[in-house]
Structures are given as C-alpha cells and as structure tokens.
Amino acid sequence: MNKVIARTINMSKSFPTGEGEFLALKNINLEFVSGEFTGIVGPSGSGKTTLLNILGSLDTPTNGEAEVMGQSIRQLTQRQSGELRSQHIGFIFQTYNLLPVYSVFENVEFPLLLLKMPAEERRKAVLNALEWVGLMDKISSRPAQLSGGQCQRVAIARAMVKKPAIVLADEPTANLDTENSLHILQTMSNLNKELGTTFIFSTHDDKVIKYLLRVIKLIDGEVANDDPASGI
C-alpha cells in the first residue's frame, strides 16, 4: 500500500479583499499517496495555485488542516517549513524561476547546497539530474542563453535533484509550445515511474491532462471531481 504523502482535511483558505474576504478554497478533503501523477485542473481563479502553495508550505490554510510528510503546515515555524521544502518538496514554476546569475549546473546544484551535501556527491547528483532532462551539453550555460523548454527542463532537474518525495508543478507547460510541452511531460512522467516521486500539477492544459493518472477538478475553490484518469 502506498504511503500518504500529503492530505487536507476540511481545509479552507480565504484572502482579505477590500470589501471582505475571498474564499479561494472551500472545505477541501484530499489525500495524495507516493508515486501519484496527479493534476489539479480547473479554470483560472479556481484555487489550483493556492492549493499547491499550501501543499508546498508556502502558505497556510485559514481553516482545517493540511499535512505534508506527516507535518501540519499550520504548526510549522518559518525554519521548519524551510526545512520541509528543502528536504522533501520540489517546485516547478510556470515562469521557471531560475537564478539568473547561476549557470545550469549551479541552478541544479543549489537545493543540494541547502542540504549541505558533500561536493563530490553533489556533483554526481547534479550530473544525473541533468542527464535525466537531457541537458548535459548546457551545463555551463546561463538561463538567459536557454530556450523556454530548456529552462523548464533545468527547473525540473532542480526540483528532482534532491529526489524529493513530492514535486509541485504550477502550470509547468503554460509558457511552452506543444513540442516542448510534450517533451517536458514525458520527462516528468519517466521520472515519476523511475523514481516513484509524487507529482502534483496545476494545469488547464489539455496536453497535460492526457498524461495524468488522477485528475482533481476544482471549480470556485471546491473539489468538483476527483477521478482516476486514463493516463498514458
């Protein structure tokens, strides 16, 4: 039986607005187990990114509970949530968010520096990660010298290099053309199968949905559907 990586229990999230409060997530009850390849789909403003942010301990729920790796997100101190992210969670962003002054190698290496991994081990891990995403020839390039697809592959390598339990990807293909999107999805799918890493995407891209093994549909902050998908 697969281990539960993250769960939410009656979780709600609201944001203050000028006139009152905007309820971004309402009463969310979800469970994610290891090895999942799950997509959170829904129109813009449905709460996909908010849910990912909470699962990534970048935000906290207003009500209810969110647990990741057995730790309550609400209870974590700033330092503990930093540790949780650095040890167990990988992020992939729509806008890649690579560190512009670092080379490809250094960008991928960065999460391992936070884990204080010895230099030789670090080097091996980085080269492995770059091999997974097929960027061995761009090792010394800067993000500005790469295409969008290549940048996203660097971001995947950076998220995967520490072999996290969970990778949260927020609209990872939104800025990419079809060919690059498929390449990225194929890469992530392979990593999911090879390493057993849990992937949770937020997306409204049909190309992505085809790859998913589970689709959670959010509408207006509520789970409208949570079904196993066909997947490829």
Which stretches of the chain bind other proteins, using CB under 8 A? 53, 56, 58-59, 78-79, 82-87, 91, 93, 95, 97-102, 106, 110-111, 113-114, 158
Of the two residues 164 and 211, which places its CB atom closer to other proteins in the complex?
164
Of the two residues 135 and 168, which places its CB atom closer to other proteins in the complex?
168
User: What residues does 226 pair with on adjacent strands?
Assistant: 216
Residue with tokens 């066909």: 230
The least distance separating other proteins from the CB of residue 22, rounded to whole angstroms, comes to 14
Helix (H, G, I), strand (E, B) or coil at 8: strand
User: Measured between alpha carbons, how far is 125 from 127 in angstroms, rounded to an integer?
Assistant: 6
The least distance separating other proteins from the CB of residue 182, rounded to whole angstroms, comes to 26
Of the two residues 8 and 215, which places its CB atom closer to other proteins in the complex?
8
Confirm if 189 and 115 have CB atoms less than 8 A apart: no
Of the two residues 82 and 228, which places its CB atom closer to other proteins in the complex?
82
The least distance separating other proteins from the CB of residue 11, rounded to whole angstroms, comes to 16
The least distance separating other proteins from the CB of residue 111, rounded to whole angstroms, comes to 6
CA–CA distance from 172 to each of 3, 18, 21, 52 (Å)? Answer: 25, 31, 29, 13
The two structure tokens encoding residue 141 = 């390039």
34 burial level (CB within 10 Å; 0-12, 13-18, 19+): middle
